[in-house]
Structures are given as structure tokens and as C-alpha cells.
Structure 1
Amino acid sequence: MSPSHYWKFIDESDLSGYSLIIPSVAVGNVGQLACDLIISSLKMKKIATVYSPAFIPVLGYDPYDLKSKSLSSSCEVYICDSRKIVVLQIRAPLVYKFAQSFLENIVQIFKEKNVQNVVLLTSSYAHEKKHISTSPFRYICTESTPYDNEVNELKWTKHDQEEGRLKIFGGGFASMFFEICKNKSLPCFILYKFCSEGDNSPDAYDMVYHLNKIVPLFSQDKDFSSQLKQPVSWKLLFGRPPPKDIY
């Protein structure tokens, strides 16, 4: 018996022409941090909350507005109408035995809402980078992706895929989600960065900068950095400083 996944949409708008951005829970949490940065900078509106046994339960304050009285959970959906993007933010690891079912459910839900494509943001272990002098970013996409012209002009490096199933070491559920999108005929583009664990907020800024080159999130006529707003929740990424009494 397949598990039940519950989507509580506040806004049932049709999403024709929209792009879905989703992070994979991966090494350094770069994809999740990048989505946080996008949501905060564009002041995106929450339109749905997702409840599923596929998630470890998480509940907390609004990560983008400390004055808000609303709570945030393991998985929520945000929208920016002006940029025609939807972000499915994931704040907890997936329970493996339910992962396939939930990822298939994501594709089903957003195909029904007529999203035009998916962009998945993730990361890979730094030691997997075989060519030291090249860019730390890689991409891979399905044949029907709308970003072919952009990546060709930018001369981005494509993921070096061996025969068989896609493998991105340290990339979380990215490979599984990519195969589901291919099988369900939903265009999918994966962008990932080689990184190590630590303070990965600079990696998130770098990822949003690269993403902006193919998905127009921010104005090209203004300074890029000035348009970004760091989420208030990032102030507590590493908890409180150690008490002085211990020294």
C-alpha cells in the first residue's frame, strides 16, 4: 500500500508557464540554502504546505520573517508571479522507503498544475571533482529542457555520466528524481556544485548567481548582490556561540 501525501494549497492557481525549483537534501545543503535565498530575496508567497510520511517532521518559526505568527514545516511551496517561478522548499531529509513515492507525487501534482519544467538544485562531494581547474558547477538535463541555448552560450560543463543510471555522489535524491521526470515526460534540469561540509552560505550565493543566468530571477540592470536578501534564519545556522563561562 502506497503512503498518502497531503498537499494543502492556499492558492489553487494554474501554473502554466511556470518553472518549478526544488532542492535535493545533499552534501552541504547547498540546494536548500539557495532556495532559502531565492524565497527571501524575491519575497515569495507561501501557497501550500505538504504533509507526508516521507519527511522527518520539522516545525518552527517563519524562517523569512521573525514578526510573522505563521509556522513553517518540513515541506512548503512558494510562488513569485512576476518571475513565474514556484519553489518547493524541503527542510528535512527524506525517509528512504517513502522517497520514490513522494517524488513521483511531486511530479504528478505539478504536471496537473501545468508547470513547464523543473530545475533541481543540489551538490556533490568536493573530492568527486576530477578536473581541478574547471568550474565547480555541473549540469545535466533531459532532452526536452528549455535551457539548451543558454547553457551552450555559457559553455557550462555537462555532468560526466557513465552508461546506465545517473549518479551524483552526495547529491541526495537528485538521481532518483531525474529518472522519474524522464519517465513522466517532465523536462528536468539539474544544476549542482562540488562542495564540502561547513559554512555553505557562500555556495548558495554562487548557485543563485549561476541559476540567474538561465532562469531570470533578478534584474540584469542592477547589481546582483544588492538584490539578494539573506534569510533571517541564517543567523542561527550554527546555533549560539559557546558560553564564555567555559573558558
Structure 2
Amino acid sequence: MDQINNWKTLTNCDLSGYTLIIPSVAVGNVAQLACDLLISSLNMRKIALLYSPAFIPISGYDPYKIGSTSMSVCCELYECPESKIIILQLRAPLVYKYARQFLNDVVDKFKAENVKDIIILTSSFAHEKRHIMSSQFRYVVNDLSPHTSKLRTLDWAEHEHRGETVKILGGGFASLLFEISKEKSVPSLVLYKFASEGDNIPDAFEMVQYLNIIVPLFDGPDIYSQLIHPVSWNLMFGGPPPTNIY
């Protein structure tokens, strides 16, 4: 049976020249948290929903607005017209056997929409960091990316890999999506952070800071005062333990 991806467009938009940001479901969910932070802080609007057999189906309340009647589903597309970015937010892992076809369809769709480039955010196991004193961040970029020259001037640490295949351990589908983007001649960049499971909110803040250097999204050098916690973070680890258990 062929995989069918169903897009429900909520608002028609011309996405020509936009940067598409996709978080890979990975260790610590750092990329997803970073995208939540961007969507909330930039007051991005939801413009489309996507259903695919590649998703583990989930639904819930609006993670960005208390009292909203809008439901949240596994995959949603958000737009910030001022910064010309769109975020394809994912809230569950991909089903392995459908992952490649789904990612192929995503790249084809946004290539047809004339997006400028794709930025893939992800994370990797902290114990994979070989050089202890080096930065917690790494990147992988293809030659078509508009950010290549800027990255060279920043003197950031590049991902170390042998041969043409990129492997980011713990990074979810990031390597596969980067490979597909390269095959289809779509400019792409992977930015990832070494992380461990736990409270990964600080990792998300730092990832947004690094992303802002590549793609300026906030005014001035102090971006932390401009970042707004999504309401969904308020009970991320549940409430305090009830006192009557002691």
C-alpha cells in the first residue's frame, strides 16, 4: 500500500524564499523544545496540519495558548512572515518503515514551494563528544546552503564523519533527511547539540541562541529577554509530589 500524506492547509501562503526548520525527534527532545520556544517567542501562526502513516498519532491541547479551542496534532506547520521562516513541528517519532518515503515527500513538497533552504535541528548522545574542551555544538552543511560561508567565518566545530554518509548517533532522522536533501539538490544544514536525557530546557535556549547567529530572528545581542516559555512547559515534569504520601 502506498503511503499517503494528507496536508490540511489552514492559510494559503507564498513560501518562496522561506527557510524551513525541521526538528528531528532525538535524545532529550532538544530540537523540538527549541522549535516550541521559537514558535511561542515569535508568535508564529499555524498554517497547515499534516497526517501521515509515518506518524504515531497523538493529539492534545494547544501548547502555546491557554483557553484556545484549537487542538494540537503530531505534525503542524507554523509561519513567521517577518523572519521568513516556517517550522514543521513534530511531536512524536516517525515509524521506521515509512520514514524515508515521508521525508522524501516533505522535501519534494517544500522544494516545489521554492523554499530557500532547510535547517535540521537535532541532538546527539553526550557521551559521543570526543573532544571534551570543544563546543557542545556541531554542524553539517551541504555546498548549496546559503549559510556555508558564514559558518566558515564563525569557526564552529564541524561534524566529523568518514566517507559521504553522515551519522549522528542519537540524532533520529536528521542524517537521513540531510542525505535526501542532498540527493534532491536542496540547500540544507544540520545543527546539533550533545545532550543527555533530563531537563533539556537549557539546551533548547542555547540551541535557539546558536540558530539566531546563523539566521537572525531576534533584535540585539540579548535574545534571552525576548524568549517566551510555551505554556506547555509549565507542567513538563508534572506537579509537585502530594504531601500526604510522606
- The 1-side partners of 2:189 and 2:166 are apart by 13
Q: Which secondary structure state, in structure 1, belongs to the residue aligned with residue 214 of structure 2? A: coil
- The 2-side partners of 1:103 and 1:183 are apart by 12
Q: Which stretch of structure 1 is more off in the superposition, 222-231 or 106-115?
A: 222-231
Counterpart residue number, 1:93:
93
8 Å contact from structure 2 (residues 30, 201) kept in 1: yes
- The 1-side partners of 2:24 and 2:16 are apart by 24
1:55 CA drift (Å) = 0.7
- The 2-side partners of 1:163 and 1:109 are apart by 29
Between Structure 1 and Structure 2, how many residues are aligned? 246
Q: Which amino acid in structure 1 is aligned with residue 223 of structure 2?
A: F
1:9 CA drift (Å) = 1.1
1:149 CA drift (Å) = 2.2
Q: Which secondary structure state, in structure 2, belongs to the residue aligned with residue 168 of structure 1? A: coil
Q: Which secondary structure state, in structure 1, belongs to the residue aligned with residue 150 of structure 2? A: helix
- The 2-side partners of 1:236 and 1:7 are apart by 30
Counterpart residue number, 1:242:
241
8 Å contact from structure 1 (residues 24, 120) kept in 2: yes
- The 2-side partners of 1:229 and 1:150 are apart by 28
1:167 CA drift (Å) = 0.3
Q: Which amino acid in structure 1 is aligned with residue 190 of structure 2?
A: I
Q: Is 2:70 aligned against 1:56?
A: no
Structure 2 residue ranges without an equivalent (≥5): none
Q: Percent identity?
A: 57
Q: Which amino acid in structure 1 is aligned with residue 97 of structure 2?
A: K
1:103 CA drift (Å) = 0.6
Q: CA RMSD in A?
A: 0.9
Q: Which secondary structure state, in structure 2, belongs to the residue aligned with residue 223 of structure 1? A: coil
- The 2-side partners of 1:48 and 1:239 are apart by 30
Q: Which secondary structure state, in structure 2, belongs to the residue aligned with residue 11 of structure 1? A: coil
Structure 1 residue ranges without an equivalent (≥5): none
1:75 CA drift (Å) = 0.3
1:150 CA drift (Å) = 1.6
Counterpart residue number, 1:226:
225
Q: Which amino acid in structure 2 is aligned with residue 208 of structure 1?
A: V
Q: Which secondary structure state, in structure 2, belongs to the residue aligned with residue 110 of structure 1? A: helix
Q: Which secondary structure state, in structure 1, belongs to the residue aligned with residue 213 of structure 2? A: coil
8 Å contact from structure 1 (residues 2, 101) kept in 2: no
The 4+ residue runs of structure 1 with deviation greater than 2 A are none
Q: Is 2:29 aligned against 1:29?
A: yes
